């Protein structure tokens, strides 16, 4: 991480009133957002603390509705926090939203391209919004179009782009003014696998150039493939954070074995197996019709669960043994299946 | 993924390319290294946003022109050509002229075309102001929220609201000007309107404030109306504002129906029609200029304030 920070772009440092050092891209302290609706207060983000050094590719991983987009909304000044504070590129997002907007690039989850404009015009006008003259804006647009492989779509209307092309243009547009921090909200949601891999390549190149990036994703493999560090988020809270390896080690249980039966699990079935006391088993959870075991040594566990069910007259409906992954991390943290 | 140098060498896979063709790792790397350093200012960003509006207007020039021309053209054609031909100009020219004469004290026949010129311009101001601001806004706030594109520009959100009012006012202003050549060219023999500009500066002032007023109202409507109830804008706002906005008759002639004459004072359209009537067709009676300017300037300020406030609240949730 330190070598990356050292190579961080020499973009203008935080302006007057900076609350944090220049080496920090994003910091939040107990950041909260509660929406007031007709059905009462709905907390979307319930006290999130983040610290992302410059040059890092940081991921917010969580299921839909976890509060990721709301968090990005607050960091990019379009959602007003109801509690806590946040700084981006050294500036307070509430006190200096214009300063923050000058220093960030945002790839929204929705297709927010200007549908009245062509591909080239989308880039030109965005450049001009950020103060480039029209000649310079046009050069910058050409450079971005070539780099993002949109050359043959230069004069196409934004409405006529495929999903992958639109997403590439959204990323290109977020880069026109060389942002200090790039935000991507679910950048590959809804894209085909080939396009997704292409976008990953783009993000890796940006990251290798020292670009600070925060992305949200609900794809575990995306977080695993791209991110230096991850915060696992659910119900508006950070459940765990660290590198992928740290997260896997941190759970203490490498493998998750789940067996679901055709009927309800009778009381005492788990105790009868003696699994909870067995060396290498960290935790045993019983649901209505299923038993889940978190184990560092999974040998024989699955067999024992099937056998115990048979003794109680239960047929196994399905069984799964998950190798250590972010999915097992999530299961271990929440006790729930990952809702994609 | 992390074994990198600061050279522009593409990492694994970046040169792979795909059907979508992104084999440009080095190019993308260069984007960061060779980026210009932008120096946005409020004026530059505002100017660029206005330039964007004009680019879109130019692209849609045919549909924009049709939208701006058809309504006044058909109105003028029916009321100053067809009606005088079939009714001998009796119905409209006669009564309106008489009413106008009694209101202003000036004798002589004021034909309907003369009544209609300022009224039609005011009607165009309102129509164009709402079409130019309200309808695009409803689209921008709909499910894709494309408004976020410009909301991320480095200016306060209020400035974006003011920019939308300004862009709408330009369209509204141009829409009103289109009425001029139409009324001067299209009419039956002897039915030409008597237009005489007494004070050009006052005409410009009234047109500009009226344009700003309608487009500020457009911003307010676009941010408070439920998109599913947009038809309501026509039924509950545009139609009554136009029919009861002194478009087809001067306000002074309304003294015959005193309660209505007082009721329609809540309608900003009345002041736009009467203001234009005062500077374009002085032969027709009109309400005092101080009242007209107070409402046009005050109304712009009030609607502008409310519009940018609700707009900012909708953008920042």
Compute the Cα dihedral for B101, B104, B107, B109 and give only its sign. negative
Q: In whole angstroms, what separates CA B242 from the centre of its chain?
A: 14
A80 is a domain residue = yes
> Do A25 and A62 belong together in one domain?
yes
What's the gap in Å between the CA of B17 and the closest CA on chain A? Answer: 7
> Do A73 and A88 belong together in one domain?
yes
Compute φ and ψ for A185, nearest 5 degrees. Answer: -100, 110
A254 at the B interface (CB within 8 A)?
no
Q: Choose the mutation target among A153, A161, A208 for the interface with B, i.e. most B CBs under 10 Å.
A: A208
pLDDT of residue A1: 39
Six-digit token string for A226: 């791209």
A194 is a domain residue = yes
Cβ pair A112:B11 closer than 8 A? no
* Chain pair A-B, CB pairs under 8 angstroms: 185
- Residue A329 Cα distances to A278, B8, B58, angstroms: 21, 36, 55
Closest in A35, A117, A131 to B45, CB measured: A131
Six-digit token string for A77: 């000044």
Domain count, chain A: 2
> Do A96 and A189 belong together in one domain?
yes
Running DSSP on this structure, what letter comes out for residue B84? H
Nearest Cα to Cα of residue B153 among B50, B7, B29: B50
Mention every residue, 6+ apart, whose C-beta is less than 8 A from residue B58. none
β-pair type (A229-234, A57-61): parallel
What's the gap in Å between the CA of B302 and the closest CA on chain A? Answer: 25
> Do A100 and A197 belong together in one domain?
yes
The domain in which residue A207 lies consists of: 2-113+161-248
A58 is a domain residue = yes
Q: In whole angstroms, what separates CA B261 from the centre of its chain?
A: 26
Token pair 């509204």: residue: B172
CA separation for the pair A108, A22 (Å, rounded): 26
Mention every residue, 6+ apart, whose C-beta is less than 8 A from residue B297. B209
Token pair 């099937």: residue: A306
pLDDT of residue B92: 47
Running DSSP on this structure, what letter comes out for residue A118? B
> Do A199 and A309 belong together in one domain?
no
Cα angle vertex B258, ends B255, B262, to 5°? 105
What's the gap in Å between the CA of A301 and the closest CA on chain B? Answer: 36
Nearest-Cα residue of chain B relative to residue A57 = B2
DSSP for B206-217?
HHHHHHHHHHHH
B 131-160 near A (Cβ less than 8 A): 143-156
pLDDT of residue B157: 96
Cβ pair B37:A178 closer than 8 A? yes
**Summary mean pLDDT of chain A:** 87
* Chain B residues close to A175, C-beta within 8 Å: 31-32, 35
Nearest Cα to Cα of residue B309 among B169, B164, B158: B158
A198 is a domain residue = yes
A241 at the B interface (CB within 8 A)?
no
> Do A169 and A268 belong together in one domain?
no
A141 is a domain residue = no
- How do the pLDDT tens digits run along chain B, 317 residues long? 344 333 333 333 333 344 444 445 778 888 777 778 788 899 999 999 999 999 998 998 898 888 888 888 898 888 888 888 887 544 444 444 444 444 443 334 678 888 888 998 999 999 888 889 998 898 888 878 889 989 999 999 999 999 999 999 999 999 899 888 888 888 888 888 888 888 899 999 999 999 999 999 999 999 988 878 888 888 888 889 989 988 888 998 888 899 999 999 999 999 999 999 999 988 787 889 999 999 999 999 999 999 999 999 999 97
Cβ pair B28:A148 closer than 8 A? yes
CA separation for the pair B311, A182 (Å, rounded): 26
> Do A203 and A309 belong together in one domain?
no
pLDDT of residue B37: 79
A239 is a domain residue = yes
CA separation for the pair B136, A136 (Å, rounded): 29
Q: HSE-up of A87 (CA within 13 Å, CB side)?
A: 20
**Weakest-pLDDT range from A58-72, A255-269, B12-26:** B12-26
* Chain B residues close to A225, C-beta within 8 Å: 1
Radius of gyration of chain A (CA): 24
> Do A243 and A277 belong together in one domain?
no
Q: Mind listing the pLDDT tens digit for each residue in A215-226? A: 999 888 899 899
> Do A79 and A173 belong together in one domain?
yes
Q: In what order do the strands lie in the sheet with A181-185?
A: A104-107, A181-185, A212-217, A57-61, A229-234, A237-242
Token pair 């944090």: residue: A20
pLDDT of residue A252: 62
B266 at the A interface (CB within 8 A)?
no
Nearest Cα to Cα of residue A145 among A128, A162, A169, A115: A169
CA separation for the pair B26, B15 (Å, rounded): 9
A312 is a domain residue = yes
> Do A310 and A223 belong together in one domain?
no
A131 is a domain residue = no
Nearest Cα to Cα of residue A213 among A203, A222, A200, A221: A203
> Do A31 and A98 belong together in one domain?
yes
> Do A208 and A72 belong together in one domain?
yes
CATH of residue A27's domain is: 3.40.50.300
pLDDT of residue A157: 95
Cβ pair A132:B36 closer than 8 A? yes
Q: Mind listing the pLDDT tens digit for each residue in A72-97? A: 999 999 999 999 999 999 999 999 99
Mention every residue, 6+ apart, whose C-beta is less than 8 A from residue A110. B143, B144, B145, B146, B148
Running DSSP on this structure, what letter comes out for residue A157? B
Q: Mind listing the pLDDT tens digit for each residue in A187-212? A: 988 888 888 898 899 899 999 999 99
CA separation for the pair B155, A98 (Å, rounded): 6
Q: In what order do the strands lie in the sheet with A290-295?
A: A281-286, A290-295, A255-261, A316-322
Nearest-Cα residue of chain B relative to residue A1 = B2
Cβ pair A228:B2 closer than 8 A? yes
pTM above 0.80, yes or no: yes
Closest in B10, B51, B316 to A205, CB measured: B10
Given phi > 0 = left and psi -120 to 50 = alpha, else beta, which region is A235?
left
Angle between helices B42-59 and B61-77 (to 10 degrees): 70
Boundary residue ending a domain (A223, A248, A273): A248
């Amino acid at each position: 991480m330190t070598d990356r920070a050292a190579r961080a772009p020499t973009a203008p440092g935080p302006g007057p009133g900076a609350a944090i050092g220049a080496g920090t891209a994003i910091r939040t302290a107990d950041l909260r957002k509660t929406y007031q609706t007709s059905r009462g207060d709905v907390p979307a983000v319930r006290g999130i603390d983040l610290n992302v050094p410059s040059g890092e590719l940081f991921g917010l991983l969580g299921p839909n509705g976890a509060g990721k987009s709301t968090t990005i909304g607050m960091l990019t000044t379009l959602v007003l926090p109801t509690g806590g504070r946040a700084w981006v590129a050294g500036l307070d997002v509430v006190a200096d939203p214009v300063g923050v907007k000058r220093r960030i690039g945002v790839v929204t989850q929705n297709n927010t391209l200007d549908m009245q404009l062509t591909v080239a015009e989308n880039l030109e006008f965005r450049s001009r919004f950020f103060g480039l003259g029209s000649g310079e804006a046009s050069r910058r647009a050409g450079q971005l179009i070539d780099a993002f492989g949109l050359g043959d779509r230069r004069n196409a209307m934004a409405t006529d782009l495929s999903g992958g092309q639109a997403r590439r243009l959204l990323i290109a547009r977020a880069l026109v003014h060389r942002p200090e921090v790039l935000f991507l909200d679910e950048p590959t949601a809804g894209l085909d696998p080939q396009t997704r891999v292409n976008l990953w390549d783009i993000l890796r190149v940006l990251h290798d150039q020292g670009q600070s990036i925060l992305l949200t994703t609900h794809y575990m493999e995306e977080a695993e493939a791209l991110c230096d560090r991850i915060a696992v988020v659910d119900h508006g809270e950070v459940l765990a954070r660290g590198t992928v390896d740290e997260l896997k080690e941190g759970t203490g249980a490498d493998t998750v074995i789940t067996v679901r039966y055709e009927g309800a699990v009778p009381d005492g079935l788990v105790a009868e197996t003696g699994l909870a006391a067995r060396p290498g088993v960290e935790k045993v959870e019983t649901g209505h019709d299923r038993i889940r075991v978190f184990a560092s040594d999974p040998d024989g566990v699955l067999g024992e669960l099937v056998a115990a069910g048979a003794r109680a007259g239960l047929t196994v409906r399905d069984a799964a043994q998950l190798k250590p992954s972010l999915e097992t991390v999530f299961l271990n943290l929440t006790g729930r299946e990952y809702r994609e | 993924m992390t074994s990198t140098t600061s050279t522009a060498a593409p990492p694994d896979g970046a040169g792979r390319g795909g059907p979508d063709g992104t084999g440009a790792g080095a190019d993308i790397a260069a984007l960061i290294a060779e980026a210009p350093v932008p120096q946005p200012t409020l004026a530059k960003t505002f100017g660029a946003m206005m330039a964007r509006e004009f680019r879109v207007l130019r692209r849609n020039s045919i549909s924009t022109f049709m939208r701006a021309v058809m309504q006044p053209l058909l109105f003028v054609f029916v009321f100053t050509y067809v009606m005088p031909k079939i009714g001998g100009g009796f119905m409209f020219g006669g009564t309106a002229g008489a009413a106008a004469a009694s209101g202003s004290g000036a004798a002589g026949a004021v034909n309907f075309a003369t009544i209609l010129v300022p009224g039609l311009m005011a009607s165009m101001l309102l129509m164009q102001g709402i079409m130019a601001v309200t309808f695009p806004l409803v689209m921008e706030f709909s499910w894709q929220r494309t408004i976020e594109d410009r909301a991320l520009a480095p200016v306060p959100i209020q400035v974006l609201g003011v920019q939308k009012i300004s862009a709408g006012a330009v369209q509204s202003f141009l829409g009103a000007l289109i009425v001029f050549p139409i009324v001067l060219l299209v009419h039956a023999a002897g039915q030409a309107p008597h237009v005489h500009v007494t004070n050009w500066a006052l005409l410009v002032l009234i047109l500009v404030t009226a344009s700003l007023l309608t487009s500020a109202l457009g911003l307010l409507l676009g941010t408070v109306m439920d998109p599913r109830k947009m038809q309501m804008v026509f039924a509950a706002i545009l139609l009554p504002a136009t029919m009861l906005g002194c478009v087809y008759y001067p306000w002074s002639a309304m003294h015959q129906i005193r309660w209505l004459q007082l009721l329609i004072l809540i309608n900003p359209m009345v002041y736009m029609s009467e203001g234009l009537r005062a500077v374009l067709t002085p032969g027709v009676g009109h309400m005092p200029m101080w009242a007209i300017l107070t409402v046009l300037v005050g109304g712009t300020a009030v609607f502008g304030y409310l519009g940018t406030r609700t707009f900012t609240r909708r953008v920042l949730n």
